[in-house]
Amino acid sequence: MIKFGIVGCGHIAKKHITAIQEADGATLAAVCDTQPERVETFSSEFNVKGYTSLEEMLNTDIDVVNICTPSGFHADIAVQIARANKHVVVEKPIALTLEDTDKIITACEENNVKLAVVHPNRFRPAFVALKELVQSGVFGKISHSNATVRWNRNQEYYDQAPWRGTKSLDGGVLMNQAIHNLDLLIWLMGDVKEVYSMAATRLRNIEAEDVSTGLARFEDGSLGVIEAATTIYPKNFEESITIFGEKGTVKISGANALHIEHLTIEGMDESEIEQLIQNIKNDPWGKPGHQRIIEDMVEAIKEDREPVVTGLDGRKALELVISLYESAEHNKPIILN
C-alpha cells in the first residue's frame, strides 16, 4: 500500500481523505496542520497520526503528501516535500505564480519524485468521451470553442476564511473556479497562443475578480471564448464546454458540466449518438475525480511513470489564468510564452 499524508486540514482535505480511503492501493497514514485543534479533529475522526510540524510528518515512512492548504502556500510546502523525497499531489491551482510553479517542478525533478496536480474534471465520463472524439478528428477543422462557468459563490462563502478572494493566497473566479475549465480547454484544444480579457469585481466584497470574460487564440488558429462568474443568482446556473467544428458540434453542460447537451457529427449514426448520451446520463460522475487522481499516483509510483495530470499541465492552466489577468489589467492582448 502507498502511504499518503495530508497537509492542510481544511474543507478540501476531507475530499482527499475520502479519495484515499476509496482508492485501490492507497492508505491514509497522517495529517498535518499548523492549528492543533484541526489536527486533533482530523486525527481523531480518521484514526491516523496527527502533526503540527510538516517536517516531523515528512520524517516518517509516508510515500506521498497531498497539499490541501490555501493556494499561496503551495510552493514552499511542495519544495519541502520534494526535498524529503516524498511524492506530491497538489490541489489546483498548482501555485499562484509561474515562478513558484517552476520552483515546484524543479524540486520534484531534482529529487526524482512524482508531481500530480488535481484537475479531476478530465476524468468525468462526458469529457473522457469528448477527448476520444476530438482525438479521432471527427469534428474536422475547429472554428472555435467556449468555456463557461456561471456559478454562485455568495459573500458568506468568501467570509468563511480570511484568505478567500485574496490575490496573495486565493485569487478570483478564474484562479479558483474556472481554472478547471481552462485546463479542459487546453487538454481538448491544445496550447493557447494569445488572449484578451476583461475582469471586474461587481458583487462580492473581495480583492480579486468575481466576473471575467475573455478571448483566446489557440496554436492551431481556432478561437475560444471564456466566461466565468461567481455572481449568478441564486445558485449555480451553468458550467459548460462547447466545441464547433466543420463536421460537428458538441456541448457538455448542466449546473456542473456532466451531460452531453448536444452532439452532432457528420456521418455518425443518430442511434450511436443517443446511446453515448444515455450511457453518460446513467453515470454522469463516474468514479470520483479525486479518487482517480490518487489511484493514478499509486500506479505512477509502481510503474515509474509520470502522473496523468503533470506539473506542466498545471503550469499551462495557471499561465492561461495569469495571462488573462494581465490582459485585463493592462487592457491589451497578451502573447503566451
List the domain boundaries for the chain.
2-120+290-307, 122-285+318-335
Q: Establish how many alpha carbons lie within 13 A of residue 207's alpha carbon, considering only the half-sphere containing its beta carbon.
A: 11
Q: What is the pLDDT of residue 227?
A: 98
DSSP bridge partners of 324: none
User: What's the DSSP call for residue 235?
Assistant: S
For residue 193, what is its C-alpha cell?
497562443
Question: What whole-number distance in Å separates Cα of residue 1 and Cα of residue 331?
Answer: 51
186-206 b/e (C-beta count within 10 Å ≥ 16 → b):
bbbbeebebbbbebebeebeb
Residues 6+ positions from 319 with CB-CB distance below 8 Å: 98, 336, 337
Work out whether strand 238-245 and strand 115-118 pair parallel, antiparallel, or are unpaired. unpaired
- Walk along the chain (337 residues) and give the pLDDT tens digit of each residue: 999 999 999 999 999 999 999 999 999 999 999 999 999 999 999 999 999 999 999 999 999 999 999 999 999 999 999 999 999 999 999 999 999 999 999 999 999 999 999 999 999 999 999 999 999 999 999 999 999 999 999 999 999 999 999 999 999 999 999 999 999 999 999 999 999 999 999 999 999 999 999 999 999 999 999 999 999 999 999 999 999 999 999 999 999 999 999 999 999 999 999 999 999 999 999 999 999 999 999 999 999 999 999 999 999 999 999 999 999 999 999 999 8
User: What's the DSSP call for residue 275?
Assistant: H
Question: What whole-number distance in Å separates Cα of residue 172 and Cα of residue 201?
Answer: 9
Q: Which residue has the cell 478567500?
A: 164
Q: What is the pLDDT of residue 319?
A: 98
- Single out the residue of 258, 222, 256 nearest to residue 134, CA to CA: 222
Question: What whole-number distance in Å separates Cα of residue 45 and Cα of residue 71?
Answer: 25
Q: What is the pLDDT of residue 101?
A: 98
Question: What whole-number distance in Å separates Cα of residue 114 and Cα of residue 107?
Answer: 10
Q: What is the pLDDT of residue 136?
A: 97
Question: What whole-number distance in Å separates Cα of residue 8 and Cα of residue 68?
Answer: 5
- Is 281 strand, coil or helix? helix
Q: What is the pLDDT of residue 337?
A: 80
- Single out the residue of 58, 118, 54, 181 nearest to residue 311, CA to CA: 118
User: Which CATH topology does 122-285+318-335 take?
Assistant: Dihydrodipicolinate Reductase; domain 2 (3.30.360)
- Single out the residue of 22, 108, 64, 23 nearest to residue 314, CA to CA: 108
CATH architecture, domain defined by 2-120+290-307: 3-Layer(aba) Sandwich (3.40)
User: What's the DSSP call for residue 47?
Assistant: T
One-letter amino acid for residue 57 of the chain? M
**Torsion over CA: 314, 315, 318, 319 (sign):** negative
Q: Is the pTM of this model over 0.95?
A: yes
